[in-house]
Amino acid sequence: MDKSEKEKMITGELFNVYDPELVAERGAARQQVEALNELGEQDPEKSQQLVKRLFGATGDQVEVHATFRCDYGYNIYVGENFFANYDCTILDVAPIRIGKHCLLGPKVQIYSVNHPAEPELRRNGAMGIGKPVTLGDDVWVGGGAIICPGVTLGDNVIVAAGAVVTKSFGSNVVLGGNPARVIKPLK
């Protein structure tokens, strides 16, 4: 039996981003995201309920400030005490797993989607490929930082503002720069 484009997307195979099922799911997610962004900080309890319906899984305490953007929502899994500041984007083509007690500064971008290197497959923008992203517990991602597809970060990692994380790192480090590198270990 042939895999659906959604199955290909989630398992990290080349998939058609304009598949009707995926287009409909992105549209449904955008409606939820627009409701969340419109609500802003007027009703924190309702905002939290919207996030819990949008994301694949959350802890009890989750806070996401407007404006927030994502592709599907259901591929985002966050642990207890998650906070995303203003203007964060999480492109969740593949699963994005974020541990407990994690903080995203303003304008943080986490991408689990990429496009093929072959130009003929990119020309019309129809082909994508997903690579999961995992952030451990107690990770703090500073404002404007970018986490690229396929990255895994261990526990107690601080990503400096503006860093571009293109590869995986273990626990207890401060990362910074473009591409990000270890600035110093943490105890």
Residue corresponding to tokens 């404002």:
143
Q: What are phi and psi of 112, to 5 degrees?
A: -115, 10
The pLDDT of residue 31 is: 97
* Residue of 26, 30, 69, 115 marked active site: 115
10-residue block means of pLDDT along the chain (187 residues)? 92 94 98 95 93 97 96 98 98 97 98 92 85 98 98 98 98 98 95
Q: What is the Rg, in whole angstroms, of the alpha carbon atoms belonging to the chain?
A: 16
- Indicate if 115 belongs to the active site: yes
Sign of the Cα torsion 38, 40, 45, 49 reads positive
Is the distance from CB of 157 to CB of 136 less than 8 angstroms?
yes
Residue 20 belongs to domain with CATH number: 2.160.10.10
Cα 107–113–115 angle (5° rounding)?
120
Q: Name the β-bridge partners of 64.
A: 84
Residue corresponding to tokens 């995986």:
168
The pLDDT of residue 126 is: 84
| Separation between Cα atoms, residue 60 and residue 80, nearest integer Å | 6
Residue 78, class by beta-carbon neighbours within 10 Å (0-12 exposed, 13-18 middle, 19+ buried)? Answer: buried
Three-class DSSP category at 158: strand
Q: CB atoms < 10 A from the CB of 159, how many?
A: 28
| Separation between Cα atoms, residue 96 and residue 133, nearest integer Å | 5
Cα 128–178–66 angle (5° rounding)?
65
Is the distance from CB of 141 to CB of 159 less than 8 angstroms?
yes
Q: 165: domain range?
A: 5-185
| Separation between Cα atoms, residue 79 and residue 136, nearest integer Å | 9
- Number of structural domains (the chain) is 1
